[in-house]
A and B are shown apart, each in its own frame.
Chain A
Amino acid sequence: MPRQITRNRPLQLIYGIVLALSPLAADTAEVIVHREVSTATLTVSMARAMFGMRQNKWPDGTPLKVFVLPDAHPLHKALCREVLDVFPYQLRQSWDRQVYSGTGQAPTELTSEEQMISQVSATPGAIGYVKKASNSDAVRIVPVH
């Protein structure tokens, strides 16, 4: 076994460099909330219900405000793939079905990660997402299991 690892090391190194340079690798998403949200962790089901716009409030009763980035944004794709385990087009279909049948509202769409941090930090009950290891004290990171 050790021999095999040694033999594959150059390949792993190349793979590591490619990953580090690829834009996909940079976009690992992490869910953030307004600092006063009392919920410490979320389940995948809860996160899906929240980003799917089928949940109106936090367990403590605070109204939920959902912020997202455009469907084609690498960070939005990363949230769908890694956190929610859904395809972005399905999330869009779910929002459309609610918006045009009157059964729900659309999330607020922002254009950049900076805007995401400033909106989530300024809106009580807000949920959004950022790149993993983004350093901002203005919002709180909530692990999703």
Chain B
Amino acid sequence: MRYALSLYISTLLVSASALAEGLPENIQVHGFVSQSAAWTNHNQVGGNQPGKVGTDLHEIGGNLSWRPDADWLVSGQLLSRLAGASDNGNVRVDYAFVDHTLLEFEGQRVGVRVGKIKIPFGFYNTTRDVAHTRPGVIPPQSIYYDQLRSSFLAAPGMAVYGDGEMTSGGLHWQVSIIRPEINDRNLTILMVDQQPGHFNGLPSILGQAIYDFDGGRWRTGLTMSNMKMQYQPGVGDFLHAGHITLNTGVLSLERNSEEWTHTVEYALTHQIRNGFNVPFAPILDMGTTIEAAYFQTQWRFVQQWQALARFDMLYLNSRDRNGLQFAAATGMPAAQRYARDWTLGLRFDPSKDWSLFAEWHRVSGAAWLSKLDNPPAALATPWNMLLLQAAWRF
């Protein structure tokens, strides 16, 4: 059924791409499809069993944008994402907003966006589900942590933004006030384990500035966010209506040359928790600092081909990097508190619309694996993963 549905949506997209040619010039239609296969020797990704291949991994999206005049832009995108047990492939609104340019002069502009907006976070977040815009099959999980994606992906709210090109470089910034849509089982399990309740987003604020030097040969970025959520206890829940605040800072740096792109991103998330009030699980009200970083090199060694090397690390408690204190306090495996991932990858772009990826991961720890696919007691470390992906876009 899942495959019939994805085939049907993909066929619709192909028809839309044919229609795109004949649209009025102020309306554009674009879309993307990706299908991946995952093999692991331990743990589960994309619905596989260890030692076997899983293919429950796709991303299908289509968008429409309309510029009724120079100062207005209306745009929306639908997305279906299948990712093992953690995302079921249902079609949902990825974004839908109105953009109004308030002032514009000589390479500068300032505007507002209102509606369900994508959230700028690090270099890749706004288009993290579009294969062509990613450095590899999956974005570096330390910073683009899929289990937390619902809180950072897109949310109803408004944003003020600016783009300025100057002789010295280009500055792109956005400040957003949003209410995250986080009624998501992945996030609930990540935050409070297997409890019947769910989280609701509270008004949150997020800002990003990216500065490009020397025609983009250097790109630097700073993202700061203050995301708030409240727990809504379920029936028979022993947790109270606790609050979690995530204060995050991300530093981003990229060096571009004709053949090479080197990227480093570093993030600290201070997690403040209170109000869960469970006497036998005081850990639920203990704050931690999540530390995340990756170093990545992309090499365009011949036309249409690209190689990738990356080291990615995530520590859910920067003071307990190997999870041993956590394991001692809870009796749960230490591996769910950290992940160190070495990645080698290859990308081939046979045409502008098609990309093929292959990627090998050697991971110790399992902090970023979905707990819906991998009950903590069953986690194994270290583990290997091979990912293959074919992607098309228009």
Contact = CB atoms under 8 A, between A and B. Distances in A.
Interface of B: 25, 28, 30, 32, 61, 63, 65, 67, 69-71, 73, 75-77, 95-97, 99, 101, 104-109, 113, 117-118, 126-127, 130, 132-133, 161, 163, 165-167, 170, 172, 215-216, 256-258, 300, 303, 352
A56 B104 contact: yes
Contacts of B166: 45
Contact of B105 (A43, A59, A86): A59
Interface in A46-72: 46, 48-49, 52, 54-57, 59, 61-65, 70-72
Interface of A: 43-46, 48-49, 52, 54-57, 59, 61-65, 70-72, 84-87, 89-90, 93, 96-97, 99-106, 108
A61 B103 CA distance: 11
Nearest to A80: B215
A90 B167 contact: no
Contacts of A85: 215
Contact of B130 (A45, A59, A61, A100): A100
A105 B30 CA distance: 10
Contacts of A106: 28, 30
B105 to A, nearest CB: 7
A67 B71 CA distance: 19
Contact of B75 (A84, A93, A102): A102
Given A52-B170, A102-B73, A103-B75, 13 more contacts: A43-B106, A49-B170, A56-B109, A59-B105, A59-B106, A71-B352, A90-B215, A96-B133, A100-B32, A100-B130, A102-B65, A102-B75, A103-B161
Given A54-B163, A87-B256, A105 B127 contact: no
Nearest to A46: B107
Contacts, number: 118
A49 B32 contact: no
Contacts of B95: 101-102
Given A44-B167, A46-B106, A101-B126, A63 B70 contact: yes
Contacts of A101: 95, 118, 126-127
B164 to A, nearest CB: 8
B352 A97 contact: no
18 contacts: A43-B107, A45-B106, A45-B166, A45-B167, A56-B109, A57-B70, A97-B126, A99-B28, A99-B30, A100-B63, A101-B118, A101-B127, A102-B95, A102-B117, A103-B73, A103-B75, A103-B126, A105-B67
A84 B352 contact: no
B104 A100 contact: no
Contact of A63 (B69, B108, B170): B69
B174 to A, nearest CB: 9
B352 A103 contact: no
Contacts of A49: 107-109, 163, 165, 170
- Of the candidates A61, A70, A99, the one having the most CB atoms from chain B within 10 angstroms of its own CB is A99
A57 B126 CA distance: 25
B167 A43 contact: yes
Nearest to A125: B70
A96 B127 contact: yes
